[in-house]
Amino acid sequence: MLVFDTICALATPPYKSALATIRLSGPKTLEILSHIIKKDIKTLIPNRAYFGRVYKDSKNPIYMIDELVYIFYKGPKSYTGFDSVEFSTHGSMIIVNELLDALVHYGARRAERGEFSCQAYYNGKMDLLKAEGINDLINANSKRAKTIATQTLSGKNTDMVVSLKTKLLDYISQLEYFVEDQYSDEKDDYDEELDKVSSSLEDDIKDLNLVIEKTKRANQEYQGVNIAIAGEPNVGKSTLLNALVGEDKAIVSPIPGTTRDVVEGEKEINGLLFRFKDTAGLRKTTDLVESLGIERSYKTIKDSDLVLLTSDNGFDDIDKDTELQEILKGKPLIKVATKKDINHNTKEADIAICSLKDDLTPLISLMLNKLNLDKKEESNFLGTREEEFLENISNQLEVARQAISDTHQIDIVSDNIRVAINLLNDLMGNSESKTMEDIYNTLFSKFCLGK
């Protein structure tokens, strides 16, 4: 991937459709465009839609590729920061491939995945946080996921990172001002300044940990929730799955062991994507195929976010399954008494239902409550990468705060804060040299002109 290359690609799905969009971006955009249209490129007005024909060779227009609409965007006022053109062609893949071949013939190359956004990042049109937010929005698989991804595009995450970085730069600036005092007889101001920084860092850590907690929740909500429906054979697990997803996903029969593999069904509930997984009935068996299904059941239960443990006659027997009880330790669990119309042993259950007759809203509300998803708190961050960076930054700030109490040495504290600033710059996609530039600008901008 070379960011200065001129690149082209289909920006819509590669299927027959009414329209298709092709992007061209890079330093050679206008030169390439001049070879395939008759219009003088010097007369093109940026951001204006033009209707015309494109050819394999505009100087010898024997073969027309298509009659289409195209828009020229003048860099740096474009998505990528380079000159670029978007073609809206008819949606035949023959037309698409002919136009792309022509663009490549005159100097472009086929773009790799995400390369247009990479150009935008390189040209300062977006930071890494926004770039990842765009990808999150594209891949959102539920209304809630879309809302969370949109939040990451708001720019509030960048504002938060910049605000924290500014604070840390100010701490370094304040500490460096007192660096000589640690060797002097006048220690009061020096100690007072360190205590102020320590107190401020404590507040910053609390605020950051709250952001991390919201980010973890946002990641779970964005990815969707995995629910394992577990229990002994023939207790109504498959019937419950079908009722929850609203269609016949699993085969239902009175024969124990009918479900021999994990059966999945998805349903969007309250804007969240739920993946329900009906597992094979848990029991001791000599049937090889059923045994393999039961092994998969245990793994599915272990990997789930919540378990619906079902029974139609009490939970005494299933509670004796030591392997299951070990997996369930610390995992959100709802004991569901099924077949409520004929099952009278429901005292140990969290809820009793008849999957064929009952409104399952109370069960859904209980699931949301168990997963702490009944209260929606917005996060400006999303993704494992962001979560890990924020945790590392929080840990590093704690190291800096502890260094004040342990060493009372400004150079050690400053070094620890610099590491945190480096992490913040890495989170946004900036280089280590950017950290030093930030420190210089903050510290030396307070000097007088000529100093």
Instruction: Give me the CATH number covering residue 244.
Output: 3.40.50.300
Of 339, 370, 401, which marks where a domain is finished? Answer: 370
Q: Is residue 375 part of a domain?
A: no
Q: Are residues 325 and 231 in the same domain?
A: yes
Taking CA atoms, 388 is separated from 137, 213, 376, in Å, by 20, 12, 22
User: Residue 80 corresponds to which tokens in the numbers above?
Assistant: 């990528």
Q: What is the pLDDT of residue 365?
A: 92
Do 229 and 328 lie in a common domain? yes
pLDDT interval class at 286 (50, 70, 90): low
β-bridge mates for residue 351, sequence order? 336
Query: Is residue 449 in a domain?
Result: no
Cβ–Cβ under 8 Å, residues 327 and 315 = no
Tokens at 297, concatenated:
């059941």
Q: Report the interhelical angle of 410-428 vs 156-177 (nearest 10°).
A: 160
Whether residue 155 is found in the same domain as residue 34: no
Residue type at 250 in one-letter notation = A
- How far is residue 288's CA from residue 410's CA, in Å, rounded to a whole number? 67
Tell me which of 326, 346, 370 is where a domain ends: 370
Is the pLDDT at 451 greater than 80? The verdict is: no
pLDDT class for 450, splitting at 50, 70, 90? very low
Please provide the size of the chain in residues. 451
53 has which bridge partners? 67
69 and 149 within one domain: no
Instruction: Judge whether 138 lies within some domain.
Output: no
37 and 116, same domain (yes or no): yes
User: Is the domain of 171 the same as that of 77?
Assistant: no
| Per-residue confidence (pLDDT) for residue 126, from 0 to 100 | 84
Please, which pLDDT band fits residue 434 given cuts at 50, 70 and 90?
Answer: low
Domain that holds residue 184: 143-220+381-444
Residue 133 lies in a domain: no
CATH of the domain at 97: 3.30.1360.120
Q: Which residue, chain included where needed, has tokens 């910049």? A: 162
Strand 109-110, strand 7-10: pairing: parallel
Residue 102 lies in a domain: yes
pLDDT digits (tens, 9 = 90+) for 164-213: 999 999 888 888 766 654 455 555 667 788 888 899 999 999 999 999 99
pLDDT band at residue 258 under the 50/70/90 scheme: very low
Share in percent of the chain as helix, strand, coil (round to 5):
50, 15, 35
* 168: number of Cβ within 10 Å: 25
The CATH number covering residue 423 comes to 1.20.120.430
pLDDT band (50, 70, 90) for residue 20:
very high
Tell if the pTM clears 0.85, that is, is over it: no
pLDDT at 185: 52
Same domain, 61 and 37: yes
Instruction: Say if residue 244 is in the same domain as residue 352.
Output: yes
Task: Report the share of the chain in percent with pLDDT over 90.
Answer: 41
Tell which of 349, 370, 391 closes a domain.
Answer: 370
Whole-angstrom distance, CA of residue 339 vs CA of residue 342: 6
Establish if 338 belongs to a structural domain.
Answer: yes
pLDDT above 60: residue 436: no
Three-class secondary structure of residue 234 per DSSP:
coil
On whether both 422 and 302 belong to a single domain, the answer is no
Report yes or no on 137 lying in a domain: no
Give the pLDDT confidence score for residue 443 in this predicted structure. Answer: 44
Residue 287 counted as domain residue: yes
- H/E run at residue 92: none
Residue 366 and residue 228 share a domain? yes
Q: What phi, psi does 236 have (nearest 5°)?
A: 100, 20
Distance CA 401, CA 399 (A): 5
Instruction: Check whether residue 230 and residue 336 sit in a common domain.
Output: yes
Do 108 and 228 belong together in one domain?
Answer: no
